[in-house]
Each structure stands twice: as C-alpha cells, then as structure tokens.
A and B are shown apart, each in its own frame.
Chain A
C-alpha cells in the first residue's frame, strides 16, 4: 500500500440550522490508501453515503478538509469538482443509474468522451464479464448485468478512485458476488483504489480495511489479514 490518495481531516457536514440541524458527518478523519479495497460499514443514517459523496466531489463539506493527493477539494467550486470527477473518480450506485437510451457499449463509451485515454468499451465490459452483451439496452439486462455495466462505465476512464454506494444492495447474493468479483478484478488489474459502502457485514471480509461508521463518526477501523475472495462470501 502506498501513500493515501484521499485524506479527510475533521470533516463535518451539517444539514439545516439551529435546533433542527442534522450532523451527518461529525469530525471524520479518514484516509484511502492507494490500491486498497476499503469497506465502509454502518447502519442507515451513520453518514457513510454522505462521506462517499463528499469524497467523490458530489457534495461539499461544511467543515474540515478533504484532499485528493495534494489538492484541496473542500475549496473547489462546482466546475473544479466536475473536473475532479471527470478525471479521477468512478462511481457505482445501488440503482446502477445507467442511461436507458444507450446500449451497454454506449453507456461505457459515454465516459470515453471525457478523458484522454479511455479504455475501449469492449475491454471494460470484458473485464466485468459482459463481453457478450455489448449491444443490449439496460432494459434487456438483469440487475446484476446492469450493475456490471455501471462498473465498466466507471472504470473505462481509468479512474484513480472507484466509489461504490451499496453496489449489491438491489441484487441477490449470487449476482451480488459477480459484481463484487468485478470490483476485485478491477482493483487487481488496474490498481484502482476502491471504496465500497455497504450495510452488509459479510462483504467487509473482501476488503483490505474496514471502517465502521456510527452517528457521523468513525467508530472503528480494522485491517483484514487476508482479503476473502467474493466467491467465498455468502449472505
């Protein structure tokens, strides 16, 4: 493992004001190491999605700092955050968020326009095991397949970070494992740093590190001695 790609210090995110204010993040110190797989665990409302959104440049913190390498994201305006997402971040969401009017290949090709040396869509889709479904529309694919297209789309721009918010949340265990295997494969072959949000404790075993969140704070951080391959996980 190398130096941290992402560094957050004293990160705060407060929604609302005064008595009704909600502290979604309450002084979070957090690092994402280069090339690691990190699993963020926690119950609903613990602040893990908020943390991921801030790290991914979708949301701005109300306090503290977050740095990508030596660049301070917390001071960026919308245009700079867009550029950051464009050049460095890949997202995977629970509900895939594919563009329904584009085929698998075209969904992946979408990001090809954004960066200089994108991965060919065929290669990205091959990496997630979908080499045979290039020209299917989202409506013609299963949930697991759609999620793997989303992963392929996220990695096609060769991002430094892959941020996944409940990537298996809407899937059964079998297809969920396929999706997780795709994430591991990406991490192995490209060295992409991967952060996975989940409320499913079993998944934690696939990570290098597990961060447990509670009430907007980091409650516990632990290292796994060995990453368990997704095929061994069951829930």
Chain B
C-alpha cells in the first residue's frame, strides 16, 4: 500500500519531481560530458603519442655524420634515437597566390622505410627502392584536395622535384602544423615524408643527418640527457635539444588542452556541487510538506524505519531517474562535443569515452546529497508524535524581526507584512533559497566568462599588440636598409622591422628558452601592452621581461641574465633586466632593436617585417612577397584571429551554450521548488485571504512578493559569487600561454540576471495558475 502511495505521491508532486530530477541530471551531465570530453581528448592524445612513438626529446643541427648517431644512442638515459633529415621545402600548388612552405622529412629505415611514427590515413607506404614516393600530412592534403596518386611539385634546396603522393598520413609531431611565426595554419604549412635516399639526393647531405629525436629510458633525467646531447652536438652546430614542451605542435596541443582544463574540470565540479546542494535543500522541504501524512502513518502503526524507507524510496526514484537522464544526456553531449573537437585535434581513435569513475562519482555525490537531504527531513518527520496529526495544525510561530522593527512591515501593509514576517520567521530557509538562486546565477556567469575572457584577449591584447596586417618572416636577418624595398612594395602603407633571436635565458640554476624580441623605439605596429591594455615602451637598454617570466626565472629589475644565443654564432651575452611588464600573451623578453644589435655586436638587422596594407592591393602584395626567396613566411593577422576563433571559438560557444542552458535549468529548479513549497505551506493562509475577499492578484502578491524579494537579493549576490568563482578558477589555471584577465562583460551579468529573472517569471506564472486553481473549500478543511 505504501508503494501505491509512493506512486501517487510522485505523480502528485510531478512538477517538483521533474525539476529536481533535471537539476540533478544537469549536474551529472555536466561532469560526464565536459570533464569526460577533456579526459577523452587527453586519452586519445596519449594513445596517439604512444602508438606512434612520439619522441621525448628533439634536436636540430647544422649537419653531422651518420656515425654520430651511435654516440647519441650511447648517452645514458637514451632508450632509442632516430636520426633524419628535415629540410625546408616549398610546395608549388596550382592556384596558390603564394607557394606553401614547410618541411620534408626523411623516413627511417633506408631502402625499406619504416612508418612507425606515422598513421596511414589513405593510400599506401612508399615502395621500396622508389625515390619519388612521398607521404603528405593529412591536414595539408585535405586543405588542398590532394589524394594518393596525385603528383606534387616541390622545391628542395633550390631543386624542383616531381613526386607522386603514395599516402596521406598523420603524425604526432604534426598534430598542429605551425609556421615560422608559431601560428597554426594547415593550408600554408606543408609537411611531407620521403625515403631517406630521395631526400639525401635532393638536399645533398649524403651520409649525414641534421635532425634527431630521442626516446628516454624510464627514470632518465631529461635535463641531464639534454645536456649530454648538446655537448655531443656542439661541434655539429646543434641548436639545443629540447623536450616536448618546446615542440611546436605539442605546445599547441597542450595549450589547447590546458585551456579546456579550466572549463573541463572546474566548471562541472561547481555544477555538481550546486546541484547536490539544491537536491539537499529541495528534497528536505518536500519531505517537510508531508509531515502530517507521515504522522498519520505513524498513528496507523507504521514504524519509523518503514516510513524512513518509504521517504528514501521517493528520493531514490528521483536520484535514479535524474541520474539516468544525466548519464544519457552527458553521453550524448559528450559525443557532440567530441565531434566538434575531432575536426580540430584529428587524433586517430578520438571518441567520447564514458568514464565510469565520473559516472560513479557524479551519482555518488547526488545520492549522498539526496540521502542526507531527504534523510534529515524524514528523521525529523518520523520523530513527530503521531497525535500531532490528529490535532488541527498549530499556528506557526512568528515574531517581529529586524525588518519589522525597522518599520518596513508597517510600510508594506498587511500583505507586505506577511511577506516580511515569512522571511523573518525562517531566515535560514530563506537564506538557503537565496543562496540556491545565487548559485544558479553564478554558474551562468562562470559559463560565459571564458567567452568574455577570450574576447578580451583577442580584442584588447592580440589586436592591440599586433597592429599590422601582414607579418613577413625572413630566411635570415637582413640589413634594416632593406625596409625600403618593403615600403615600396604594392599596397604597403607602413612597414616596421622586428628582430627575433632564439635564445636561452639563464638565471643561476634556472633557465627558459625564450627568444629576444627586438622592437624599434616608437614602434607602432608591434606594441607591448600591460595587463590593463596600456602600451608600454621598451626601455632603451637592457631587457624588459614578462612579469611571469621574471617570476619563473626568479629575477627582478636590476638582475643580470645570461643570454645564450641559439642561432648564428651561439654567442653568450649578459643583459640586465631593466623593466617588467604584466603582459598577457606568452612569456616574452623585449629588447630595444638598436640595443639588441649592439649587444650581439652586429649591424642593425631585422628578421621580420611588419606591414600595414591597403586591402585592395593585398593579393598583389602577397604574390610579390612569394617571388622573394628571402621570404619564408607570410602571416596575415586577420587569418590568425580567424583561426584562433575557429579553434577555440566554436567549442567555447558550444560549452557556453551548454553551461547557460544548465544554469537556466538549475535556476528554474530552485525557484520553482521554492515557490511550490511556499505555496503548499501557506495554502491555508492564502485561501483565507481569498475567502476574506482578496482577489487572486492580491493573494498572488503575497507568495510572489516573497519570491521576488528572494530573487532580488539573490541576483546581485549570484553575480558577485560568479566573479569569486571565476577568480578562484583562474588562479589554478596554467598561465604561461594566456593570462586571462578576470573580465566579466556587463553583457554576461545582464544575461545571467535576465535568465534568472526569466526563470522566476516562468515559475511565477505556473505558481499563479496553481494558486488560481486552489479549491477554496478543500483548502479550508471545511467538513460536513
């Protein structure tokens, strides 16, 4: 019979049951989908790396005889070494204004090339003995519609070669092909693999290698091995070995995943915590409403245990139902999110993995919240003396609280007084509701924050620092006098030199590989901005470091850094830190262009030229730059921004959407249940008002006034809470690539407020309808 009561109760309270189950489902789904997506990406990356022997260390050098390979292999801690040729290559693709550039890499294994580092997507491996079979990176091939069997014309070391595409491949070293300026541009950066013999011939480097990769033995010291490699290769023009952190593709992968981490692990945890909290509150109140029924059951002879189990069974139905919806919704959203990321990361075997531990954790948290919330209320109810049910309900205790004493109640008239007294009677319950609504608002703020921060980063920082249209990377530094040629090139409005020197910055035992960026005095096109977006001048002498870099190196203004050049003469210099700047993008070391030349003991030169361009002449300029052999890279700022947005924007929009919807559901869940419980608790008073002759609208004022008061307090509180959560979240994020400012756009506050108000209004309408339909006579307990 209790089972039947259970079913009927659930049906009777379906509005509450459904909204509570949805709040729970949202908490579970957020954890499973968002954190699950983040983890699935990490797992797919790790599998890709492991299956295709992604190296631990990398080094590029001028040229060393093959015999040196065995010496490298003998370094303690090195498990294996692959030596190879990596040569600059120009792809002559019909229809491209400017030829794509990139790298040609030799396959290991002599006449029988090994593909252990590659995944064959389409086509076949190169035939043994053939020298014109090439493998092409899938991203590049897809960008240009290249297929196995197509011919490909390339220029390597000044020689034009006609190759046949044997296969399309993926490589863990080239998940994100980046150009000379470090930008991800799949169409402009080509990578291909050739049998060693073919590349030997083209590059004219028989019996020598100019690049090596290493796998470390378990437990090997990365720093010690790097040092040994650098020592070994010093006489062969080694450019300094580095680990995965400096590998361009891995850097992008890591920073993308790091960017997801905040969203992926913190936000769902906040969601789940909020959902669990609400579950606790709402279930407790729901049981509270059943006090009288519980007392009747007790009077009939049911034991406390039986009643307790009955109530927990009600809660269990909600947990199981909400949990099931949550898992299903989470898996479905996870699939959708992964589909968005698949195109971006292109890890083979990337799929959404339903993480059992997440499911268990989410359900356990919800079950615990439910058990405690419903359990405490059930225990209280079961403790009640059965006789209480037999008596008319005693009037609840009210007193004059602070608000009344302030005269607020007098001001508001009897109906307003009812609102004020109700809030005063149970300040904790009212406070908990306010907190619940505030959390819903906070979650929405948190959800939209990433978009705000991204916008800020793009608009204020990226666009503010890089005010040029086209960045031209030169093969080697040229005298600054050449700037005149660029000024005269078609469509160029302004041109500015830039000098980038690969270097290792050493301070005592600490070091960082950060290039020195030489900026001319009074630069207009490449500026340095502080955290607030104000331009900062590069000091005329010494180096200005990103504050974070100074922190990482443990130096301050006045300290002297040891600068080890990683190109040219590999000279060692000393440079004083003369300023710090709290910039937001990457770790940087800025030096005045002339001071840099003086430091290196060279004539003023430039390695990059920054241009502003008349848009009408853009194509002519790009074509003209393509004909200059010294130009190895051309980057358009707008394209970088678009790529950046395409990369992060799409997935972030999706995440924001999900989080907003979830926040809305939570808001509705809290507000609806609060109003619903208030309606049940106060039905008698409200009906009495109706009997006295108050109109429906007047009576609704009492109930909805209370709700409105709570929402009015909760909304600003929630916005503040959102800011606090965002701040706490960002403190734990890895800041080396981007340092997001805690920027919450007014629109986000507006959006959160709107959503909460909307939820409140929707609830108010439903409750008003219920209020209108209350059976006056039944509610009055009229008996005959």
Contact = CB atoms under 8 A, between A and B. Distances in A.
A46 B689 contact: no
Given A53-B777, A102-B414, A102-B421, A97 B691 contact: yes
Interface in B415-429: 415, 417-418, 421-422, 425
B357 interface: no
Interface in A125-167: 137-139, 146, 153, 157, 165-166
Which residue, B395, B415, B685, has most C-beta atoms of chain A within 10 A?
Answer: B395
Interface in A91-110: 91, 93-95, 97-102, 106, 109-110
B694 interface: yes
Interface residues of B, number: 34
Which residue, B399, B417, B695, B782, has most C-beta atoms of chain A within 10 A?
Answer: B782
A101 B421 contact: yes
- The size class of the interface chain A forms with chain B is 35 or more
Interface string B363-407: 000000000000000000000000000001011111100000000
A109 B684 contact: no
Contacts of A111: 692-693
Given A50-B784, A137-B397, A137-B399, A86 B685 contact: no
A85 B392 contact: no
Given A101-B422, A110-B414, A138 B395 contact: yes
A139 B398 contact: yes
Contacts of B728: none
B777 to A, nearest CB: 6
B692 A91 contact: yes
Nearest to A108: B414
A97 B784 contact: no
Contact of A100 (B395, B413, B695, B780): B395
B777 A59 contact: yes
B692 A110 contact: yes
Contact of A165 (B421, B685, B689, B782): B782
Nearest to B399: A137
A175 interface: no
B693 A137 contact: no
Contacts of A91: 691-692
Contacts of B776: 58-59
Interface string A50-72: 10010010110000000000000
A45 interface: yes
Given A97-B684, A170-B392, A58 B417 contact: no
Contacts of A112: 414
Nearest to B695: A82
A98 B688 CA distance: 7
Nearest to B414: A110
A44 interface: yes
A77 interface: no
A122 interface: no
A114 interface: yes
Nearest to A53: B777
Given A44-B783, A49-B783, A139-B397, A106 B777 contact: no
A232 interface: no
B215 to A, nearest CB: 75
B526 interface: no
B392 A137 contact: no
B417 A101 contact: yes
Nearest to A49: B784
A17 interface: no
A48 B784 contact: yes
Contacts of A94: 781, 783
A85 B693 contact: yes
B690 interface: yes
Contacts of B392: 95, 170
B398 A137 contact: yes
Interface in B321-359: none
Contact of A137 (B395, B415, B696): B395
A113 interface: yes
A102 B784 contact: no
B773 to A, nearest CB: 11
B396 A102 contact: no
A93 B394 CA distance: 15
B784 A46 contact: yes
B781 A106 contact: no
Which residue, B392, B396, B693, has most C-beta atoms of chain A within 10 A?
Answer: B693
Given A106-B417, A139-B396, A53 B782 contact: yes
Contacts of B394: 139
A86 B690 CA distance: 9
Nearest to B782: A49
B29 to A, nearest CB: 40
A56 to B, nearest CB: 8
A56 B422 CA distance: 29
A79 interface: yes
B689 A101 contact: no
Contact of B414 (A45, A113, A139): A113
A31 interface: no
Contacts of A153: 692
A47 interface: yes
Contacts of A45: 784
A26 to B, nearest CB: 14
A106 B414 contact: yes
Nearest to A87: B693
Contacts of B684: 97
A157 B692 CA distance: 10
A85 B414 contact: no
A47 to B, nearest CB: 7
A122 B396 CA distance: 23
Contacts of A170: 392
A115 to B, nearest CB: 8
Interface in B473-498: none
A83 B396 CA distance: 30
Contacts of B688: 97-99
Contacts of A44: 783-784
A170 B425 CA distance: 26
Contacts of A53: 777, 782
A101 B418 contact: yes
Nearest to A91: B691
A47 B422 contact: no
Contacts of B783: 44, 49, 94, 166
Interface in B659-690: 684-685, 687-690
Contact of B395 (A82, A114, A139): A139
Contact of A97 (B413, B422, B695, B780): B780
A58 B781 CA distance: 13
A138 B392 CA distance: 13
Interface in B691-711: 691-696
B693 A93 contact: no
A102 B418 contact: yes
Nearest to A98: B395
Given A86-B693, A95-B392, A114-B694, A101 B781 contact: no
Contacts of A137: 395, 397-399
A106 B691 CA distance: 17
A101 B398 contact: yes
Interface string B430-461: 00000000000000000000000000000000
A6 to B, nearest CB: 17
Contacts of A139: 394-398
Interface of B: 392, 394-399, 413-415, 417-418, 421-422, 425, 684-685, 687-696, 776-777, 780-784
Given A59-B776, A110-B414, 5 more contacts: A58-B691, A98-B688, A114-B692, A114-B693, A139-B395
Interface of A: 24, 44-50, 53, 56, 58-59, 78-79, 82-83, 85-87, 89, 91, 93-95, 97-102, 106, 109-114, 137-139, 146, 153, 157, 165-166, 170
12 contacts: A45-B784, A86-B694, A95-B781, A97-B691, A99-B418, A100-B396, A101-B396, A101-B417, A101-B422, A106-B414, A110-B689, A137-B398
Closest A-B pairs by Cβ, 3 of them: A86-B693, A49-B784, A101-B421
